[in-house]
Amino acid sequence: MCCSLFMCMGFGCNACGVTGCRIIDSPRERLIAVLTNNFVPCNGRFPMLISLITIFFTAGITFSPLKNIASALLLLGIIIIGVLLTLAVSRALSATLLKGQPSGFALELPPYRTPQVGQVIVRSIFERTLFVLGRAVCVAAPAGMLIWLLANVQAGGESLLYQCSAFLDPFAKLMGLDGVILFAFILGFPANETVVPIIIMTYLAKGELTDYTSLYQLKELLIANGWTWVTALCTMLFSLSHFPCSTTCITIYKETGSIKWTAAAIAIPTICGILLCTLTATAAKLFI
């Protein structure tokens, strides 16, 4: 019950889902909920998932209502995979690192009180919105400078961004990706929304973040750089299961007070994502 509650909160923002876990009385179960919250896609990952589904999996459907239904079902399938990963990892943690007896979960509703609009607005802006934005800026500003330097500083006639992507390419190929995609996820640590712009910037060899003006242009660019439906599928799976964004990591550290568990929250989904993508790419090569 409690796992489902915080899973739903994670669909909006994983950092909020992690914060919500503090109402769980059991420290063991609270930690399990924190460590597995990142398996559900947040708002920052939905645009990539929807775009890749539309480009590579439903583009051939000409009947618009049927196309929309197919896209929705495929997106639901990706979400279900995330839910299954959450349950599987939660069970594995309960049987290994975080053994213990399951406890009951009671959610008591407080008595209804008339909302005080002014107080709600002030608390929402100053104690929530600005606080979360402040955490994001602490990492986003240095990361933005790093991305700019990698894209604009050249060595041997190629940008550092391209060279780092080329270095990661052999390992990324095993996962069904390429070096550009994998490095874009690494540089997208401050915010998942920047992964696709970084991929576009690297493919176009530009010195600044660039977004696409239409899905058709994005499809042409991706296919020209070797993307197939397998690449798209592995990218979606890795988007579903990889390290949390910077804001979520900071929130996890604040909630657990432990570098060890924060590192575990980064490592667990990333390892699962690498294994899942590698198995998917290998199966595609063997059977298709």
Structural domain total, the chain: 1
Residue 123 in any domain: the answer is: no
What's residue 135's pLDDT?
Answer: 60
99 bridge partner residues? none
Residue 31 lies in a domain: yes
Q: How far apart are CA 85 and CA 4, in angstroms?
A: 13
- SS3 labels along 223-282: HHCCCCHHHHHHHHHHHHCCCCCHHHHHHHHHHHCCHHHHHHHHHHHHHHHHHHHHHHHH
Backbone torsions φ then ψ of 158, nearest 5 degrees: -125, 150
Q: How many CB atoms lie within 10 A of CB 23?
A: 12
Residue 110 falls inside a structural domain? no
pLDDT tens-digit map of 21-32: 888 888 888 899
Query: Closest by alpha carbon to 180, among 135, 215, 231, 144?
Result: 231
> Can you tell me the mean pLDDT for 90-103?
80
pLDDT at 215: 84
User: What token pair was written down for 283?
Assistant: 């199966």
Rounded to an integer, the average pLDDT of 4-21 is 80
Contact 260, 34 (CB under 8 A): no
Q: Distance between CA atoms of 281 and 238, rounded to whole angstroms?
A: 12
In a domain? residue 116: no
Q: What is the pLDDT of residue 163?
A: 92
- Which residue would you say has higher pLDDT here, 179 or 213? 179
* 209 contacts: CB under 8 Å, gap ≥ 6: 147, 194, 197, 198, 201
Strand, helix or coil at 159? strand
Q: Which two tokens stand for residue 78?
A: 């990706």
Q: What residue numbers bound the domain in which 224 lies? A: 2-98+138-287
CA distance 196 to 181: 8
pTM for the predicted model, two decimal places: 0.86
pLDDT averaged over the chain?
A: 85
Is residue 133 a part of any domain in this protein?
no
> How confident is the model over 237-288, as pLDDT tens digits?
999 999 998 889 988 999 999 999 999 999 999 999 999 999 999 999 888 7
Q: Apex CA 225: angle with CA 219 and CA 228, to 5°?
A: 65
Q: Residue 273 domain-assigned?
A: yes
Please give the backbone phi and psi of residue 145, each rounded to the nearest 5 degrees, phi first: -65, -40
Q: Are the C-beta atoms of 239 and 195 separated by less than 8 Å?
A: yes
DSSP, res 177: -
